[in-house]
Structure formats: C-alpha cells, structure tokens
Amino acid sequence: MRTTWRRRSGWITGSAILRSGLGWGGSCFPKDTAAIRAAARDQDYEAVLLDAATELNDRQPDRLLSLLDRHVDVTGERVAVLGLAFKPGTDDVRNARAIPVIDGLQDRNANVVAYDPVAADKMRAHFPAVTYADTPSDALADAAAALVVTDWPEITGLDEEFDAMATPVVIDGRRAIERRDGLVYEGLTW
C-alpha cells in the first residue's frame, strides 16, 4: 500500500513519512500537538500516545549528542552543525532541532561551526557566539565531528567534503548521508 500525505510544499509519498530521525520542530506542529494534548486533558482524557510521541521527540537531540559522545570528546574541538532550519526550504528556526543540539555542544565546550543555506542569520539571534560558515565545506574543514540536523540538498549531497575533517565522525540526525568507508557514521534509530 502506498501512503500519501499532503503538505504545503507538495506531496509526501511512500516510506519517507515513516523515516525516523531528530524529530519535529517549527511553529505549527508542536503548537498543534500541545493544543490537542491540552484539549484531551480538559476532557479528562490522557492522550498517552501523543504524550509519548512528544516525550520521544524532545529526547532526540540528546540521543544524537549521546551518539557523538561515544566517538569523540568535543571539549575544545571544532564541531560542524549542518542545517539550522527546522526543515529544508525555509529559514524558520522556531523550535528547530538545531537549538538543543547547539546548546548541548556548548555545554560540552565544543567550538560550534554551523552551516545552513538560508537560516544562519535567524539562528545568529539565538547563538551569536557560534561561527557561521558560508559553505558545508567551510564548516567541515578540520572538524572533529559533524552533526546532520536538517536534510537540505546542499547537505545530502556531501561526500568527499567529509575527508577534510580532522576526524571523520558523522552523526546523522536525518538519514541524509550515505555510509561509506573512511567515515565513522552513526544515525538515529535505524
């Protein structure tokens, strides 16, 4: 059976809607989910499934960072964050998964270098001390690790660019990068 969902920017078909990853963000879906959960509570109904989904979503950035911790101590190290918007095709960083990821990296005293084709200026308001790269290659140069947060085409097409890293550790939160020899690759929930 082929599953089809409609979204503002077009149709999503097949298994793409079932891909797990770093979680949802943006302004609408989190707000709508919270409203449904609140309406359920107002009716003395526990929306257990929605509560569990929200809890799992909120934990995904920590899971991504835990995978990073398995491979490298980022204290004082350059770490590339690839993708800042909550989804490709927008500069919207409201509830973007990059926010808790960058917070976690800063808690680990990493030197964060971030790249996003359109959302860097909006993210700069949240994290003025982060270095913002003009290209993914600039972000990856001499990095101890790379975290894939948003699956922009500019990021999903990366390959040899990872060879410029000091240590090629790629933690993929969107199942966006092809595994290959020469990379230490981890991904969320697959």
Q: Which residues are catalytic?
A: 28
φ, ψ dihedrals at 147, nearest 5°: -115, 120
d(CA 68, CA 183): 13
Among the listed residues 163, 161, 65, 164, the one whose alpha carbon sits nearest the alpha carbon of residue 105: 65
Tokens read off for 43: 């009716």
Going by their DSSP bridges, the two strands 10-13 and 4-7 should be labelled as antiparallel
Mark residue 44 as left, alpha or beta (left: phi above 0; alpha: psi -120 to 50; beta: remaining): left
d(CA 28, CA 25): 8
